[in-house]
Structure 1
Amino acid sequence: MTTPLGEVLDSRRAAEFQKAARALLKEPLLLAHGPYADEYRLVRQHAAELRDWFDRNVGWSLRVDAEAARLRKTPGAPADPTHPAREASRAQAPFTRRRYVLLCLALAALERGEAQIALGRLAEQVVLDAADPQLATAGVQFTLERRDERLDLAAVVRLLLRYGVLRRVAGDEDAYVSGAGDVLYDVERRVLAGLLAARHGPSTVAAEDADDRLAGLIAESALDSDELRFRAIRQTLTRCLLDDPVLYYDELADEELVYLTRQRGFITARISELTGLVAEVRAEGIAMVDPLDDLTDVRMPEQGTHGHVTLLLAEHLAAAGGEVGRGELERRVRELAVEHGGFWSKSAKQPGAEAELVEQALTKLTALGLVTRTPGGVAPLPALARYAVGETVVLEPGTRTPQRKAPAS
């Protein structure tokens, strides 16, 4: 029996639509050239449907032109610090406060500049802008006199290269850092103009507190009717389910929890239709699980020493059932190094390495919504229970009767 051509085409179009949506969620800025050119073309093909879905369900705008596709995402939790910008290098070190400031100053300088700019010229402009008294009062200093400052600026530029705001014409950032040369860039002004994801310009937000300023950047218009309030709640919940590893019920306001209880099936079905994510509903909350495992910037389990340590500490924390101090976790890593050190890197077995191993593990577990940091250490969250080791079931030879053994301590 053959499948009608119409059904085949509909199925193919639905698959392409889902692939385009996943591409935007993974890389909200897709360039018409470079490694994501195929995904960009797919997004452009389905731009109208994608624009409608994101606007209606999450309140995100999508702009597609001949150079780029830009999904202006705003997170469900704007102040969440667990998914920082990272270096466009193998190390992928998270951006520091100074690098974020330099990024903003560099973008401002590029906006005022010409179609081409040298890194040295950009640095001069950033130094001038960094001398603003308000920045000095906030403790921000940038003079380019130290190597670590030049390294920070180079990291900012490489991030802008990755985003497609800049294109390298000649030179190399390492040469600039060492003082041996300069770098020339083309400025992609249309990409630059679409980089900021905000409903309101920063200069129009009068709040002084950082959290209040973030809220002001993405604040919606007056919600003066039940319909608008319910739409805002639905969009916030959908953002959280799309962006966050786990949505815990106890983190929701009463009105949000009531709405989610009534509309959970509708919201999760819409997300599944768009992305292929599968809703895992538990007593404590909801996680949208990705069968393809590529819609995340933090993976677990992960290969390598750090991935192994993280998994073993997750098992330890899940078994603890309550708050665990940093000292105990470091002692546990030293014990694990004796047991598993043959599989770990040489540096991970050095005396004192346990502090860094614990910090990296906790950073990942926090970003995945599996633990929360406390003044005394760290406390497990409900989703961590999936990493608990239960009883081992052993079948006796020649029988079908299970014999249970307690897990190893």
Structure 2
Amino acid sequence: MSDNRLGDALAAQRAAEVRRAARALLRRPLLRAGGSHADDFRLVRQHATELRTWFERNTGWALLVDSEVARLRRIPGRADDSTHPARDQRTGLPFSRRRYVLVCLCLAVLERAEQQVALGRLAEQVVLAAADPALDAAGVEFGLGDREQRTDLVAVVRLLLEWGVLTKVAGDEGAFLKSAGDALYDVDRRVLAVLLVARRGPSTVLADGFGERLAELNAEVLPDSDELRNRALRHSLTRRLLDDPVVYLEGLTENESAYLTSQRGALTRRIGELTGLVPEVRAEGLAMVDPDDDLTDLRMPESGTDGHVALLVAEYLAGSGGSIPLADLHQRVAGWAVEHAGFWRRSSTTPGAEVELAEQAVERLVALGLLECAVGPDGAALVRPRPALDRYRVGDAVLLEPGQSAPRKSAKAMAGRTKGTRNR
């Protein structure tokens, strides 16, 4: 009997370790042997075989693990999802088009660099690379004389430091920004080698438009049997359930919708066993909710001014009954700024601040699958509630008689808050 209990305890411990390792990979698809996430790396390496099997079978994502890095080659469920932008490490603002171009140019330069590189030297090489006629024709310019452009380069370097491509040896990016100094970095070639996630080399993509090039970059071979088609559907839907806060049936193809309807229990059970995510279901779709709330890059609700604005906007729109003009939402936020002036940051009551506050809240709620933006017949911008927003509807207070039980909440209310990070 004691042997059985010991075996059960060991099995439970192993399952818990595998879950922790899987969650670590979903939070950070690239882990290094050293640094602040070394414990996660060791756990992933210890259970690499089981994790590799699960991800390949259920998502089609390959897992590379060696003595230096663990890399989950996480191809997104949707190529048109723009809700996971790279962000400035200091301000949290999303990257601009130029910064994305600079990321690619920096990586190209680092591929040919020595084991160490100075920020000034990196900047000079990026300027030369940016002089490519194709970039000039696309309207991309970069030079060191403009402080704004130098700021863009520093933001990219800080992102590469976060990813582990670069490790600081000496100096400071701020000094470079002020033209008062430089910084020196080690280049981690192993991280650099596994950073790109694509089914084919970018240089082999022949399409012209951005959307077409992106689709071709990760295009899969069309399956030619029922078994392969079902596997492709399983991969696609599992990726969506891990990536997206809410998967709506209206956003799926007919085949995906049919497969999700028939295989929902099996899909959610497998995901739940590996990750601990819990399914919440309603007629419109499905969400995988994280009880621990640490597999998300956007939280709802969240503290601070921006978090409070987002919550107020969610409550207001959940009870609106339909679309409202974005301009009306600006006015509503301006009123809240006065009402909550003692709790919000000082700049919130500055004329015009309500526009930024409202639009940041809308951006957050769209990313969480709670709102969608549209254009009205008159060309005005509209915001429209989605079904998952019902979770934030404020109902009427109910006075209970002594001994009376509170009304039960629907088990089918969507959470709309799990959103896996996608650091590629």
Deviation at 1:66, TM superposition (A): 1.4
Q: Deviations over 1:1-25 (max 9, x none)?
A: 9671111000000000000000000
Q: Which residue, out of 365, 379, 383, partners 2:384?
A: 379
Equivalent position amino acid for 2:58 in 1: N
Deviation at 1:124, TM superposition (A): 1.2
Matches within 5 A, 1:190-205: 190-205=190-205
Deviation at 1:351, TM superposition (A): 2.3
Deviation at 1:88, TM superposition (A): 1.9
Equivalent position amino acid for 1:254 in 2: E
Deviation at 1:350, TM superposition (A): 2.2
- Tell me which residue corresponds to 1:333: 333
Residue 51 of structure 1 aligns to a residue whose secondary structure is helix
Residue 71 of structure 2 aligns to a residue whose secondary structure is strand
**Residues 48, 65 of structure 2: 8 Å contact kept:** yes
Deviation at 1:402, TM superposition (A): 8.3
Deviation at 1:340, TM superposition (A): 2.5
In 2, Cα distance between equivalents of 1:329 and 1:222: 45
Residue 169 of structure 1 aligns to a residue whose secondary structure is strand
Residue 306 of structure 1 aligns to a residue whose secondary structure is helix
- Tell me which residue corresponds to 1:177: 177
- Tell me which residue corresponds to 2:395: 390
Deviation at 1:221, TM superposition (A): 2.5
**Residues 394, 402 of structure 1: 8 Å contact kept:** no
In 2, Cα distance between equivalents of 1:314 and 1:269: 30
- Tell me which residue corresponds to 1:126: 126
Matches within 5 A, 1:164-313: 164-313=164-313
**Residues 61, 72 of structure 1: 8 Å contact kept:** yes
- Tell me which residue corresponds to 2:9: 8
Is 1:363 paired with 2:363? yes
Deviation at 1:64, TM superposition (A): 1.0
**Residues 58, 239 of structure 1: 8 Å contact kept:** yes
- Tell me which residue corresponds to 1:31: 32
Deviation at 1:154, TM superposition (A): 0.6
Equivalent position amino acid for 1:384 in 2: L
Residue 80 of structure 1 aligns to a residue whose secondary structure is coil
In 1, Cα distance between equivalents of 2:38 and 2:403: 57
**Residues 284, 387 of structure 2: 8 Å contact kept:** yes
Is 1:70 paired with 2:71? yes
Q: Deviations over 1:333-367 (max 9, x none)?
A: 12222332222121112222111110110111011
**Residues 64, 70 of structure 1: 8 Å contact kept:** yes
The count of aligned residue pairs is 401
Is 1:50 paired with 2:51? yes
Q: Deviations over 1:22-66 (max 9, x none)?
A: 000011111111111111110000011111111111111111111
Q: Deviations over 1:64-115 (max 9, x none)?
A: 11111111111111121111011222x2111111100000010011111211
Equivalent position amino acid for 2:188 in 1: E
Residue 342 of structure 1 aligns to a residue whose secondary structure is coil
Is 1:83 paired with 2:84? yes
- Larger RCO (CA within 8 A; separation ≥ 6): 2
Equivalent position amino acid for 2:87 in 1: R
In 1, Cα distance between equivalents of 2:405 and 2:223: 62
Change in 2 beyond 3 A, CA 1:222/1:395: closer
Deviation at 1:232, TM superposition (A): 1.0
Residue 142 of structure 2 aligns to a residue whose secondary structure is coil
In 2, Cα distance between equivalents of 1:255 and 1:395: 47
Change in 2 beyond 3 A, CA 1:8/1:402: closer
- Tell me which residue corresponds to 2:422: none
Q: Deviations over 1:259-298 (max 9, x none)?
A: 1111111111110011000010111000000000000000
Over the aligned positions, Cα root-mean-square deviation in angstroms equals: 1.5
In 2, Cα distance between equivalents of 1:93 and 1:289: 26
**Residues 20, 43 of structure 1: 8 Å contact kept:** yes
Q: Under a length normalisation based on structure 2, what TM-score does the superposition of the two structures give?
A: 0.92
Deviation at 1:132, TM superposition (A): 1.0
In 2, Cα distance between equivalents of 1:399 and 1:237: 45
**Residues 300, 307 of structure 2: 8 Å contact kept:** yes
Residue 230 of structure 1 aligns to a residue whose secondary structure is helix
In 2, Cα distance between equivalents of 1:10 and 1:290: 23
In 2, Cα distance between equivalents of 1:180 and 1:276: 50
**Residues 201, 217 of structure 1: 8 Å contact kept:** yes
Equivalent position amino acid for 1:12 in 2: Q
**Residues 161, 167 of structure 1: 8 Å contact kept:** yes
Residue 208 of structure 2 aligns to a residue whose secondary structure is coil
Residue 6 of structure 1 aligns to a residue whose secondary structure is helix
In 1, Cα distance between equivalents of 2:405 and 2:392: 26
In 2, Cα distance between equivalents of 1:28 and 1:278: 21
Residue 77 of structure 1 aligns to a residue whose secondary structure is coil
Change in 2 beyond 3 A, CA 1:126/1:401: closer
- Tell me which residue corresponds to 1:115: 115
Structure 1 stretches of 4+ with a deviation exceeding 3 A read: 398-403
**Residues 77, 240 of structure 1: 8 Å contact kept:** yes
**Residues 326, 377 of structure 1: 8 Å contact kept:** yes
Deviation at 1:400, TM superposition (A): 4.2
Q: Which runs of 5 or more structure 2 residues have no equivalent in the other structure? A: 376-380, 408-424
**Residues 337, 354 of structure 2: 8 Å contact kept:** no
